[in-house]
Every structure is written in structure tokens, then in C-alpha cells.
Amino acid sequence: MIFRAPTDPLSDGKVVVRLPHHRDVEALVRYGDDPDVAETIWVPIPTPCPRSVAAARLAEFRNGWEQEKRLGPALIIADADTDEMIGVIFLRLREHDSIELTYGVAPGFRNRGIATAAAVLVSGWCLEELAAARVELRIAQSNLASQRVAAKAGFSRDGIVRSHIAATGMEYEDLLFVRR
């Protein structure tokens, strides 16, 4: 399976999921001032986040569509009314034509159904446009909020998956949720 970026933004009227754009730099700089970013790492930036680092990170998000990169392909979750960046979704190719989604939403926008809406839009696009066999979410057993997102977005629990993080040597057992 080959990743190809969406030709048009995905939207449900509440959120827009689109390719990263240079205009998102200011949002990343602002999120770098939020202590929640350092705690939850919902977007991979330093805290604080200098403008040059934010611009480089957005370039990485865009370049992930063109070649295999550390972060892989990324999409921006934006407010449908303002187009302001309020979250991010990363895609990763898994075995047997499966695609894993990893998402994060800015603290001020949580508990509004934004992660659910974005997961529905992107997983539907992966299944229909990319012809993925399934879409996966790998969620920490302690992350009850993401488990609720998975259920509301139409994902079914499908067991436990063990992941080894080479950089840290740590192993994690995450809950596996799938949508077909």
C-alpha cells in the first residue's frame, strides 16, 4: 500500500482535516507554551517551541507524505470555522494493509467530539480512498478518554498489542481497536 495525501480537505462541518500548512506555525508556537504538551506529548514539539522549530516540524509533517520519515504522514485537525490548527493525526502503515492512526487534540478543544469527528473522517478516508484492509488505534490501557473516542468513532476492541520502543528499550501493552 502506498500513502497518498488527500486531494481535498476532509470535513464534517465541525472539523476540517487537511494537510499541514505554513500558517500552522503560530499555532505550534502557541501550543509549545502549554504545559500539557510536555505532559501528554499530544504533538511532538518542545516546550517552549521556538518559531524555527515549529516551522521545521511542520515541514516534517508535510514531508511524511513524500517519503518515509520519523513522523510519517500527518494531517492537521482544524476548526471548521476558523481553519485554526487544533490537533494532529499521524498515519502509519501496519502489516496486512492496515493503517494505524495516532491523534492528539489541544487541551482547550477536548471533550467536544473533535477527536471522534477527526477519527471518523480519517478512518473512513483510509478505508475508502486508500483501500486499507482496516484502520487501527493503539491505546494505552489507562487512557479512558481515547477508548471512548474509539467506541464513538465506530472502532471495535480487538485485543492487546505489544509494542517495543527501540529508542527506550521499553515495551508497552496497548489495547487494539479496529475499524473495517
State the CATH number of the domain containing residue 101.
3.40.630.30
Give CA–CA dist 31/106, Å, rounded.
Answer: 8
118 pLDDT higher than 80: yes
Residue 117 lies in domain: 10-136
Residue 151 lies inside a defined structural domain of this protein = no
Question: Each residue of 138-174: pLDDT tens digit?
Answer: 999 999 999 999 999 999 999 999 987 777 788 889 9
Residue 116 lies inside a defined structural domain of this protein = yes
Which run of H or E residues covers position 59? helix 51-63
Contacts of 52 (CB under 8 A, 6+ apart): none
Residue position matching grid coordinates 471512548 = 148
DSSP state of 24: G
Count of alpha carbons within 13 angstroms of residue 10, beta-carbon side = 21
Question: Each residue of 59-73: pLDDT tens digit?
Answer: 999 988 987 667 779
Residue 104 lies inside a defined structural domain of this protein = yes
Residue 72 lies inside a defined structural domain of this protein = yes
Residue 161 lies inside a defined structural domain of this protein = no
Residue 50 pLDDT class (50, 70, 90 cuts): very high
135 SS3 class: strand
What confidence score (pLDDT) does residue 69 get?
65
Residue 53 lies inside a defined structural domain of this protein = yes
Residue 61 lies inside a defined structural domain of this protein = yes
Contacts of 145 (CB under 8 A, 6+ apart): 110
Residue 170 lies inside a defined structural domain of this protein = no
Number of domains in the chain: 1
